Amino acid sequence: MTMSIAAKHAKGKSAQDKIFGANAAAVAAAAKYGKDAVTNATIGAILDEDEKLVCLPTVEEVFRGLSTNEMIAYAPISGLPEYLDCVLTAAFGNSRPEGYIAAVATAGGTGAIHHAIWNYTDNGDTVLCSDWYWGAYKVLCQDMGRNFTTYKMLDENNKFNLPALKEKVDELLAKQDNLLYLLNTPAHNPTGYSLSGEDMDGVLAILKEAAVPGKNIVFFLDVAYIDYAGEKEEVRKIFKKLSGLPANILCIVGYSMSKGFTMYGQRTGAMIGVSSDKSVIDEFAAINQYTSRATWSNINRPAMRTLATIYSDPELLAKVCAERDYYYQMIKARADLFAKEAEECGLPMLPYVAGFFLSIPAKNPDAICEKLHEDNIFAVPLAAGVRIAVCAVPLKKIKGMAVKVNAAMQAV
Ligand code: PLP
C-alpha cells in the first residue's frame, strides 16, 4: 500500500504534463529510428531548419559579455530599476497606455500568472479563461485552491466569441466579488489566434459593463508571444485601449523574456499593472513584491541586465529586432505551408494568425496523436484537439504533415 504524508491540500498532486510526455516519446523515437525519420512537433521553443535550439545572436553576445558581478549578484526583489524601466518599452512599444503603471519582475511569464492568481482571487474563487488554453493556467489555479472555468473561444464562424465571454463573466461575478480573466493574445498558445482591435474593444466593453460598484475585474493580458505576432507596433496597438479603465478594473500585462529573447530557461518576465487609480497601482507594486519575497525572493539578474542593455542601445535593439524577424518569417513559412496543405486535403484547422503553435480541432486527440506515432510524428493532445508546434519543425518535415494528420484523424 502506498503511504501519503502530504498535507490535505497537496494530496494526489502529480504533474502529468502532456507536453513533456509527448516530447519524451519523440526523443525516444529519434534515438531508435534516427532524427531525420522523426517529426517532433511538441516543443514550445524555436528550432532552426537544422532542428537546433535558437538563441538570438545579439542576446547571446550581450548576455555572455556581462561581468561576473552582474552574473552572480542578487537583484532587488522587485527587479533591477533599469529593467523595470526598459521592460515597459519592450512590452508596450509606442502604445504605452495612459494611467498609472508599475512593473514587478517575475520568474518568467509563469511567475506573473502565479502572482495574479494568488493576489487577486481568494481561495475557492473561479478564474476565467477560453476553452483553448495553455495547460499551466489550470495547474497554477488548482495548486492555489482556485477553480478554473472556460468559455467557448470561437463561435461557429471561427470568430472570437464575445457572447460566450459575457455570459461567463456575468455568471461568475454574480457569485464572487473579484474576477480574474486570463487572455492570451496575440499569437495565442495553442491556436495561433490573435484578437483584432475590434475583438479587444468588445472584450473591454463587456468587462466595463460587468464591473459594477462592489465588483472588481482583473484582466490579465498574457503577451508571451508578442514578439512573433506580426509587425512590432501594429500588434502593440491593443495596449492603448487599456487607458482610462474604471478603477475597479485592473489590467495586468504578463510579459516574458522566454520567447522574445530566446531565454526560456533563464526564467525572467514581468507583471505590468495598468490602472486609472494610483492607489490600485501602489497596492499592485506592494503586494506583488511581497509575494515575490515569499516565493522566489529575487529573480535572474543577468537576464534582466541583458534586456536593459539591449533596450538602452538603439543599435543593439535594431539587431535583436532583425534577428527576431528572421525567425518570425521562418515560423510563418512553416505555418503557411501547413495551412495550405490542410486546406487542400480538407483538414480542419483553427484560425492561425501567428505564433509558435497551430491547432487541429478533434474529438479524440489522444487517439489521433497515438496513431501519428506510426508515422513517427509527435504532437500534443489537448482536450479539444491536437497542438502542432510549428516553431520546432523544419519546413521539409512540415511538408506532407497535414495529409498525415488528416489520415490519422480519419483512421481513429
Ligand atoms: N503564457 C503562455 C501562453 C505560454 O505558452 C508561456 C510559455 O510557454 C508563458 C506564458 C510563459 O512562459 P515562461 O514562464 O517560460 O516565461
Residues 29-51 pLDDT 10s: 999 999 999 999 999 999 999 99
Ligand 1, from 87, 106, 110, 261: best to mutate by most atoms within 8 Å of Cβ?
Answer: 110
| Per-residue pLDDT at 23 | 86
How far is it, in rounded angstroms, from Cα 286 to Cα 102?
A: 10
Q: What confidence score (pLDDT) does residue 54 get?
A: 98
Rg (C-alpha) for the chain, rounded Å, is 21
Atom of ligand 1 nearest to the CA of 254: 10
Averaged over 13-32, what is the pLDDT?
Answer: 84
- The CA 374 to ligand 1 mean position distance, Å, reads 30
Measuring from atom 4 of ligand 1, which residue has the nearest CA?
Answer: 224
Triad 93, 222, 21: Cα angle to 5°: 130
| Residues 200-240: tens digit of each pLDDT | 999 999 999 999 999 999 999 999 999 999 999 999 999 99
Taking alpha carbons only, the member of 37, 93, 7 closest to residue 317 is 93
Which of 258, 295, 387 for a ligand 1 pocket mutation test, highest count of atoms within 8 Å of Cβ? Answer: 258
| CA–CA dist 253, 240 (Å, integer) | 12
Q: Does residue 83 register a pLDDT over 90?
A: yes
HSE at residue 131, side-chain half, CA atoms within 13 A, is 15
- Judge whether 43 and 391 are in contact, CB under 8 Å: yes
Convert the pLDDT of each residue in 96-135 to its tens digit. 999 999 999 999 999 999 999 999 999 999 999 999 999 9
CA–centroid distance, 345 to ligand 1, in Å, is: 32
Distances (CA, A) of 267 to 155, 188, 226, 252, 356: 35, 20, 17, 19, 19
pLDDT 10s digits, 245-301: 999 999 999 999 999 999 999 999 999 999 999 999 999 999 999 999 999 999 999
- Would the CB of 110 count as within 6 Å of ligand 1? yes
For residue 258 and ligand 1, the question of a CB distance below 6 A is answered with yes
Instruction: Report the pLDDT value the prediction gives residue 12, as an integer from 0 to 100.
Output: 87
Lookup: cell for 364: 479524440
pLDDT averaged over every residue in the chain? 96
Complex-level ipTM: 0.99
pLDDT of residue 79: 98
- CA-proximal residue: ligand 1, atom 1 (nearest): 224
Cα of 108 vs centre of ligand 1, distance in Å, is 7
| pLDDT more than 70, % of the chain | 100
Domain residues for 267?
Answer: 68-314
Question: H or E element: which one contains 270?
Answer: strand 269-275
Answer yes or no: is 125 within a domain: yes
At 14, the pLDDT band (50, 70, 90 cuts) reads confident
- Which is the closest atom of ligand 1 to the Cα of 356? 5
Closest residue to atom 11 of ligand 1, CA basis: 109
Q: Would you say residue 116 lies in a domain? A: yes
Nearest-atom number in ligand 1 for the CA of 257 is: 16
Question: Is the CB–ligand 1 distance for residue 269 below 6 Å?
Answer: yes
- 318-332, pLDDT tens digit by residue? 999 999 999 999 999
Residue 137 CA to ligand 1 center (angstroms) comes to 10
16 pLDDT above the threshold of 90: no
Residue 222 maps to a domain: yes
Does some domain include residue 256?
yes
Residue among 265, 229, 2, 242 nearest 108 (CA): 265
Whole-number pLDDT of residue 262: 98
Residue 58 lies in a domain: no
Evaluate whether residue 269 is within a structural domain: yes
pLDDT band at 2 (very low <50, low <70, confident <90, very high): confident
Strand partners, 105: 270
Q: Is the beta carbon of 303 within 6 A of some atom in ligand 1?
A: no
Answer yes or no: is pLDDT of 163 > 90: yes
Compute, in angstroms, the gap from residue 50 CA to the centroid of ligand 1.
24
Q: Using N-to-C axis directions, what is the helix angle for 57-64 and 314-345, rounded to 10°?
A: 140
Residue 19 Cβ contacting ligand 1 at under 6 Å: no
Please report whether residue 34 resides in a domain: no
List the CATH number of the domain containing 232: 3.40.640.10
pLDDT at 291: 98
Q: Does 189 sit in the ligand 1 pocket, CB within 6 Å?
A: yes
Ligand 1 centroid, distance to 171 Cα (angstroms): 28
Domain count, the chain: 1
In a domain, 398, yes or no: no
